[in-house]
Structure 1
């Protein structure tokens, strides 16, 4: 049997409803024989859990989210760390980082790394960070203290909102890194001389959870007020999801076209979006469902006619990579309308298996929505093509096999 080192996986928070792609990977690695302990930098805030979280057997260890909340734990770690030979190199690295990023956040990551290095759960033999910003900072500092190697999975926001100097240094120190879109992959490779240690690994979808939808959707075309076309979106209400743009596009649809919009997800922007819907005169056509468990979301994919997600690059550079909800919707032959940013065109091609429009353009988004509403035969054809692409090219087992090879290639080195 191939070697499997005890791996500590550092996460921003666990469990999280919005990060099913991470939970899916963790479960896949466990099933492949990996021995994991999950190190969460935050306690959970979601009131619900996906079933997949109950299937993951790994123990979860929570670091102090804010250092002042667990001062004794942090103090003990600091005192123990000061006696270690690697404490001075760690401080040198920390001061170098702090001079370029004077923030409490940087101090928190040092404190969390000291606690992790001091307590060192389950005799960990490898560190793996999910996200190349703050979790990778904790992994990097803990690695300096313990001499335990680390690797990293980068995703979207963490790549595009991190300064280049930090990405360059982390890519130079991690044994390898993976990311889930070609845009992120190419950006990371541009920043490092160790290009062979940056890998593209699509998350894909666990198709056992998203089986074939054998039902038949009604041929609604927006002409019947008693049977409106059902438009669905799933995603956190945050700026990069572009929900204000989507609402503006919905308001531009012809008044005599009958539709209803359902949003699933939490998020701080809901407090702004609901009044915006009122202002646009479409609030009576919208249902805000809040966060739902995965099995409930699946039911909504199967009852909807159109899926819409108006992704954009936010003012701070934050953006999606390749949203898993597009995989999920496509797997149920539900036609998707989205934008041409980041990795989305790696899944959707306008006119072939979906509708793809520029970001920040309510008018063109409205044109795509109107066509999708009026043409049920086109929705069916594009939805089936998207489903075929997901099932043939984005099975998450391919990613698990790739990650297994990457880990084992390091662990088997002399």
Structure 2
């Protein structure tokens, strides 16, 4: 008798693939493949990053790209519409679509409908299960496709998708999905409060591939900011978007005493770079900053190992967007690198102030500057907290445990279908 993992071909719907900023998704896909899953990746957008992480080349799954904009592939969309029109479930799909559209009148709704029709019509690799990564637009395409095909679906929710989606939409998707997971307790509790069936919502930390992020056994520096020729290295990795709080971090750096010698390195792309770089100039710290842009994972790991402090000033953005538990904090902690961050969303689920990190309130440059100064001046503190952070990651954030949990969730449903 074949294992359910072999006979359930799974179509994974993603907003875009591959993406440098979503290593946690790539890591999960590779882990599922290694656990025996047969995946096909369905991407709603084509890649825009100029580089790839090595992990993307290890994933064997075929990638199918839906029309990113319907007008770009009109014949493909038209064929799907004509084919869908003849199917018995089309009227049910239209009923659901109009219900959604009345509450959210946007071109985005029509795009998701068109993408779902294309997916249902082309139906790659004889899929037997649908899984959405992100509960906003990918789950919309997945839910519409499920209505058309009758194929069940599940969902992994993360951060922005939870907090920027209206409650009515989350409630309906959580009712439709066979199960959902999310990666922070705050997100889990919010989703569970909205879910009609609370036992179908699960907490699953992404974890880290600890083989890829092996132990860093070299001795860390004893730089303390007193030597201009041996500056303390402060690192941050993340997209320059409002929820990352890079404007607050730059303001905090500008508040550090002038006698401290430090250098700040930022890794990541993002639309806010064009605003942040002039801000650094106005604050008088531009000559202390290296903007590296997006880098491959192996290069990021090298920077973790050369840095003295990792900083990330997470916040809730004006539109409600926020981080879950930023994977970069887990990665940095795995290399016994002291992290300075804020008590937003899932950050306190990893870092406890003065126990295995330094954690301050968001939107507070003065408090952040005080924590950074303390970390810069005290190498013993950095070493103590960094080692405690690494111990927590290696004990509680092992990627293999999350893959085992997801495997159980898939298998439990597949046995019912």
Query: The TM-score by the shorter chain falls in which range?
Result: over 0.9
Secondary structure at the counterpart of residue 310 of structure 1: coil
Q: Report the CA distance between 1:382 and its aligned residue.
A: 0.1
Q: Does 1:264 align with 2:267?
A: yes
1:291-313 deviation digits (Å, cap 9, x = unpaired): 00000000000000000000000
Contact (CA 8 Å) 2:171, 2:196: kept in 1 or not? no
Q: Does 1:299 align with 2:302?
A: yes
1:43 alignment counterpart: 46
CA distance in 2, matches of 1:191, 1:149: 20
TM-score (norm 2): 0.99
List gaps (5 residues or longer) in structure 1. Answer: none
1:30 alignment counterpart: 33
Q: Does 1:113 align with 2:116?
A: yes
- Number of residue pairs aligned between Structure 1 and Structure 2: 414
TM-score (norm 1): 1.00
Q: Does 1:382 align with 2:378?
A: no
1:18-57 deviation digits (Å, cap 9, x = unpaired): 0000000000000000000000000000000000000000
1:245 alignment counterpart: 248
Secondary structure at the counterpart of residue 37 of structure 2: coil
Secondary structure at the counterpart of residue 211 of structure 1: coil
2:78 alignment counterpart: 75
1:338 alignment counterpart: 341
Summarize the alignment of residues 155-174 of structure 1 with structure 2, pairs less than 5 Å apart.
Answer: 155-174=158-177
1:150 paired residue among 149, 153, 160: 153
2:321 alignment counterpart: 318
Q: Report the CA distance between 1:2 and its aligned residue.
A: 2.7
Summarize the alignment of residues 127-276 of structure 1 with structure 2, pairs less than 5 Å apart.
Answer: 127-276=130-279
CA distance in 2, matches of 1:176, 1:193: 12
CA distance in 1, matches of 2:219, 2:28: 31
Q: Does 1:290 align with 2:297?
A: no
CA distance in 1, matches of 2:301, 2:238: 14
1:239-275 deviation digits (Å, cap 9, x = unpaired): 0000000000000000110000000000000000000
Q: Report the CA distance between 1:193 and its aligned residue.
A: 2.5
CA distance in 1, matches of 2:277, 2:406: 42
Q: Report the CA distance between 1:216 and its aligned residue.
A: 1.1
Q: Report the CA distance between 1:214 and its aligned residue.
A: 1.0
1:103 alignment counterpart: 106
Secondary structure at the counterpart of residue 63 of structure 2: strand
Summarize the alignment of residues 389-400 of structure 1 with structure 2, pairs less than 5 Å apart.
Answer: 389-400=392-403
Contact (CA 8 Å) 1:249, 1:362: kept in 2 or not? yes
2:366 alignment counterpart: 363
Root-mean-square deviation (Å): 0.5
2:19 alignment counterpart: 16
Contact (CA 8 Å) 1:2, 1:408: kept in 2 or not? no
2:405 paired residue among 389, 402, 406: 402
1:2 alignment counterpart: 3
1:119-166 deviation digits (Å, cap 9, x = unpaired): 000000000000000000000000000000000000000000000000
Using the TM superposition, name which of 186-195 and 258-267 deviates more: 186-195
CA distance in 1, matches of 2:385, 2:188: 28
Q: Does 1:88 align with 2:91?
A: yes
Q: Which runs of 4+ in 1 moved over 4 A?
A: none
Secondary structure at the counterpart of residue 327 of structure 1: helix
